[in-house]
Amino acid sequence: MLFYKGYISTFNDVRQSLPPAFFNKIKTLGFDQFLQSVDLNVNSYNLDDMIGRYIGNYQFHLKDKILRVTLKDIGFIFSLPYSGAVIQVSRKYDIEYATPLWRKYFNVKQVTSVMVKDVFTSVALSTNYDEENVNDICRLWFCLFCSCFLTPTSKTMIPLKLFYYLDRFEDIPRLNWSQYIFDQIFDNMESACYSDRHREKTGVKVNEYIVRKRILL
């Protein structure tokens, strides 16, 4: 779980410095289950097998059965809502991403997970923990969590439109986070399967396959 380890390592570096208000707010938003350190072990050979068993349309062939993954499954696994407003981050949707948070800490069109880690760490270690600062830390935590674990991409960038959805705290629990995770998981699965077929034909493990495989792990 390389991406998860990257997230939890960064968070643990600042955990002791964060004020109680941060933890209370994340709990209120329904994401406090991700503030705990847990041991996650995944065998990469099992992932190869899973990719080989994927037959499309969110389905896997297991012996004499077909297993279909649903939004409800994702919601149960992550303890997150599987209904509510859909998070639209693709290019075809015209959504304003230039929020105060984006302008204040990034103000660039390519926000990488490395940038998010650096900004989150810097702000989290600040000695100023007024309400505005705590709110910023919470939003930056979401950026860190999404880019490093929840919905990572092969380019390790956070979708700019996600800033729009993080702007209003009261809306965060009403968003369909399971749909967002579901879409990203199977986008990565489709890409990994495509690259796997290419590998079988050519014998070459292309970078796209390796990256997507790490993301799925």
CA neighbor of 87 nearest in space, from 5, 168, 188, 141: 168
CA distance 174 to 176: 7
Q: What is the number of structural domains in the chain?
A: 1
CA distance 97 to 103: 9
Is the pLDDT at 214 greater than 60? The verdict is no
Domain around 197: 2-216
Q: pLDDT, tens digit, for every residue of 127-184?
A: 788 998 999 999 999 999 888 877 766 667 888 999 999 998 889 999 999 999 999 8
Q: pLDDT, tens digit, for every residue of 67-105?
A: 999 999 999 988 998 899 999 988 777 888 899 999 999
Average pLDDT over residues 21-31: 95
- What is the separation, in whole angstroms, between the first and last Cα of the chain? 6
**pTM, rounded to two decimals:** 0.84
Greater confidence, 25 or 197?
25
Give the phi and the psi of residue 185 in degrees, each rounded to 5: -60, -50
Question: What's the mean pLDDT when you consider all of the chain?
Answer: 83
Query: What strands, in cross-sheet order, belong to the sheet with 59-62?
Result: 54-56, 59-62, 65-68
